[in-house]
Amino acid sequence: MVITCANLGIGTFWDETKHHYARCGLGDSIARLAWLKTQVEVSESYVLQHADPGDEALAPPPIMPPR
């Protein structure tokens, strides 16, 4: 099985011959980061809307695990 990004597409480069290359459908690195930011904001707001603020088990995990 091969797993890849759903936004992966085929780009075409023309010179003397026709070349194909892998291309992101979201755009360049700036566009990909902007898209990622919208996904994180949507995810965070969804979690905050459905979380029980009184539940201590929902405390955020530590950034680094204890050593």
Residue 40: give the domain boundaries.
27-52
Q: Domain for residue 5, yes or no?
A: no
- pTM score of the predicted model: 0.47
Residue 59 located in a structural domain:
no
Residue 47 lies in a domain: yes
**Reduced to 3 states, what is the DSSP secondary structure of residue 20?**
strand
Give the count of domains, the chain: 1
- Residue 13 covered by a domain: no
Task: Output the CA torsion sign for 9, 13, 19, 21.
Answer: negative
31 within some domain:
yes
pLDDT by position in tens, the chain (length 67): 777 888 889 888 877 778 888 888 888 889 988 888 887 777 777 766 766 667 666 666 666 655 5
**11 in a structural domain:** no
Instruction: Report which DSSP code applies to 2.
Output: -
